[in-house]
Amino acid sequence: MKIGKRIVNENHRPFIVADIGINHEGSLEKAIRMIDDAYAAGIECVKFQRHIIEDEMLEKEASKTIPGNATESIWEIMKRCSLSPEEVKRLKDYVENRGMIYLCTPFSRRAADELQELGVEAFKIGSGECNNYPLIEHIASFGKPVILSTGMNNLNTINPAVEILEKAKLEYALLHCTSIYPTPYEKVRLNALKELATQFPDAVLGLSDHSKGIYTCLGAVPLGASILEKHFTSDKNWLGPDIPISIDPSEAKDLVIGSRAIWSSLKGGKEILEEEQPTINFAYASVVSTKPIRKGERLSPENSWIKRPGTGEFLAKDYEGLIGRVVREDIPANVQLKRRNIE
């Protein structure tokens, strides 16, 4: 898939998304600081959430619903953390002026329409909307690439969403995700990436991770994850429901460096590289005489053995085949055997 000018697949370095989400707690100043810190850490993309709460949820019921990672209702949290349309545009402009990619997750139809009007280059759909097929159809109608998180869903419930995206002929990615905050390592289930690859061969794959640290993201790269999404904060002492599972700028920098190193190290197979030759020269061993050998004598373990360096004409691998061969000229002790020495 392609987001703006950035190609995202296994042939390119991992695409890391710093999910600022609602960690700004409604503060534009905090949001801008997190953008700056993500940029300084080498992050290419930051993601926010767009909440228009009256279009997203029912006040009466939402006011009684408390998320597992919070102590107040989802209505109170989103009311406090919602940004105005003007603030959303300002943040998008700020991100793009930094040369970064701006993503935002809409949680309602109006939020999706607003982001479309702003001209976002792609849509990120959260796990809670993975089986909200009407909203996915609405977003798919815009014709833009979609990154879909799949927490709280299985292959059966993901499949209709994928059918919508493929029917719309969109480029799309599926992010494996576990919606537990924080996710214990034994619940991350990285092998699910293999299942997604088998079931949805046309999807770009990734991991939206809620475990602590960057370890599972690094582990996802060899399993085919081309997108790595982590909640991000500038300061872990800030308040907010997602702060405890967020990485800070130092961890973000390590994630950028580590994921690129692992991705680069996956290339190639088990063959001898040309660049290994200088090491071969000293590390290999050659067949040598261990005592003077007269013309007509046969090579044996008593008069020959193998010693470094590996610059001789016969290497250790050739030794067994030389035993019993006749020497055609006198050979002094402690010299590398040459082809001309042997009948």
- Which residues constitute the domain of residue 313? 274-341
86, 180: one domain: yes
> Among 80, 56, 78, which residue's Cα sits nearest to residue 67?
78
159, 94: one domain: yes
Per-residue pLDDT tens for 127-164? 999 999 999 999 999 999 999 999 999 999 999 999 99
Confidence of residue 63 (pLDDT cuts 50, 70, 90): confident
Mean pLDDT calculated for residue range 69-74: 81
User: Is residue 176 over pLDDT 90?
Assistant: yes
Mean pLDDT calculated for residue range 246-268: 97
Out of 211, 243, 265, a domain closes at: 265
Does the residue 80 lie in any domain? yes
Supply the mean pLDDT for the chain: 96
pLDDT of amino acid 68? 78
Alpha-carbon dihedral 212, 214, 216, 221, rounded to 10 degrees:
160
Alpha-helical regions (H) of 152-289: 155-167, 192-199, 215-220, 249-265, 277-283
112, 254: one domain: yes
pLDDT of amino acid 305? 98
Q: What is the CATH number of the domain that holds 284?
A: 3.90.1210.10
pLDDT of amino acid 182? 96
233, 287: one domain: no
Mean pLDDT calculated for residue range 211-221: 98
259, 324: one domain: no
Out of 207, 232, 265, a domain closes at: 265
Entry pTM: 0.91
Does the residue 2 lie in any domain? no
Three-class SS state of 3: strand
Does the residue 3 lie in any domain? no
294, 313: one domain: yes
pLDDT of amino acid 67? 84
Mean pLDDT calculated for residue range 282-303: 98
Does the residue 185 lie in any domain? yes
User: Is residue 69 over pLDDT 80?
Assistant: no
Domain count, the chain: 2
166, 49: one domain: yes
Q: E strands of the chain, at which residues?
A: 2-3, 6-7, 15-21, 45-50, 101-106, 123-125, 146-149, 172-177, 204-209, 227-231, 286-289, 304-307
Does the residue 1 lie in any domain? no
pLDDT of amino acid 302? 98
Residue pair 105/126 in contact (Cβ under 8 Å)? The answer is yes
Does the residue 314 lie in any domain? yes
Residue pair 47/257 in contact (Cβ under 8 Å)? The answer is no
147, 293: one domain: no
Out of 265, 294, 322, a domain closes at: 265
Mean pLDDT calculated for residue range 328-334: 97
pLDDT of amino acid 334? 98
Mean pLDDT calculated for residue range 265-294: 97
215, 298: one domain: no
pLDDT of amino acid 183? 98
Mean pLDDT calculated for residue range 326-333: 98
CA distance 37 to 278: 43
Q: What is the CATH number of the domain that holds 20?
A: 3.20.20.70
292, 260: one domain: no
Taking phi over 0 as left and psi of -120 to 50 as alpha, with beta for the rest, 277 belongs to alpha
Confidence of residue 56 (pLDDT cuts 50, 70, 90): confident
Three-class SS state of 230: strand
% of the chain at pLDDT higher than 90: 91
Per-residue pLDDT tens for 72-109? 888 888 888 799 999 999 999 999 999 999 999 999 99
327, 179: one domain: no
CA distance 87 to 83: 6
Does the residue 242 lie in any domain? yes
Does the residue 216 lie in any domain? yes
pLDDT of amino acid 66? 86
pLDDT of amino acid 83? 93
133, 175: one domain: yes
